[in-house]
Amino acid sequence: MKRRICLVLSAVGLLVLPAILNRANPIVEWLFNELVFDSGRWRFEIHAPQIQNLDGWYITSRSGQAYFKNGIQLGSAYRVITPESLLSALTINPLGDSLTFHSPQSHRSWLYFGPGEMVAAPRIGQSLSLREFGTQFYYLDNTPTLGQPNDALNAFGTVQGHVSDSLGLPISGVMVSWGEMSHAYSDSAGNFSVTEYARRLSLNFTHSIFATRYVTVQVWPETTVVIGVTMDRIVDVQEGHSTSPPAFRLHVNYPNPFNPSTLIDYELAVRIWVTLKVYDVSGRQVAVLVDDLQERGYKTVKFDATHFASGVYFCRMEAGGFVDSKKLLLLK
């Protein structure tokens, strides 16, 4: 059953990536494959086909260090390490710790988790797991798989949110991006939804007429986190203000020139019937983007010109007695 967590947004974050410090030849990039806590007792998994055994290796936490017993074989196995695998006792704080592997050749591999780190501490019944393929990172999973390859069957959570301006009016067309290629957009009511691995997620909120916001939020597996984001309008040198109520206004599209699609921002001062239509240079109507009764606020609409020829087009906006048009340049 999914849970809902409500947060008041605010955020920055600190990100420390687990990695290997190569002082000689590289051995392995990620040693910690999975970590769980059961009633205060820790267990973790190592998967390192490049390493035959852990003879001479030791592990440190914030509270101490301990050497591994000789004879622990690795190879292709998903080897589970318990407190009994060490020559002496080692305390690992289940609320957050910094773990480091040390090899006889001074190679190191880190795992940092807990408050302020890349991933939160796993709760009882969860595991902190490594995404083994593609871009590697750690995430939380509700179904531990110690002793076998990690899966992500119960490792995704959702961030739902609302984007508004300083007056509380919704902003549509805000791009919410994270990672290298992932993104979503706020809808006409300013709402958005992101589903991702359960980890600390850095979200970027961008819009052509609002200052970019950066937000870090912890995503939990099979849980919905709800946030609210407020964006400030970019200072307009000609208008001389940065935060103002929406007026009737049609903004220049972006990008421009474009291929094959572009975004068009516009503002409505009141609830009103509005039309946005696109015409070619001969004055022929080629597309109707908006023809609807809309609420006051900031709006964005997409013009997809995939099936249009290169050239100049005009977007015309009508709302009550307000009429304006902007030139669009399609280059293919």
Helix and strand counts by DSSP (H, E) for the chain = 0, 25
Backbone angles phi, psi at 85, to 5 degrees: -80, -5
Instruction: Evaluate whether 57 touches 101 at the Cβ level (below 8 Å).
Output: yes
What are the boundaries of each domain within the chain? Answer: 3-10+156-230, 20-117, 249-330
For the chain, give the percent of residues with pLDDT over 90.
60
Q: Which has the higher per-residue pLDDT, 15 or 258? A: 258
CATH number for the segment(s) 20-117: 2.60.40
Residues 6+ apart with CB under 8 A from 254: 208, 262, 263, 265
Q: Any idea what DSSP says for residue 120?
A: P
One of 3.40.50.450, 1.10.3720.10, 2.60.40.1120, 3.30.420.40 is the CATH number of 3-10+156-230, namely 2.60.40.1120
Per-residue confidence (pLDDT) for residue 24, from 0 to 100: 39
Confidence (pTM): 0.71
Count the alpha carbons within 13 Å of 303 in the hemisphere toward its beta carbon.
Answer: 32
Of 217, 20, 221, give the one whose Cα is nearest residue 111: 20
| Single-letter code of the amino acid located at 58 | Y
Q: Is the predicted pLDDT of residue 181 greater than 90, yes or no?
A: no
How many Å apart are CA 135 and CA 247, to the nearest integer? Answer: 45
Segment 234-252, tens digit of pLDDT:
755 444 444 456 778 899 9
Instruction: Evaluate whether 205 touches 212 at the Cβ level (below 8 Å).
Output: yes
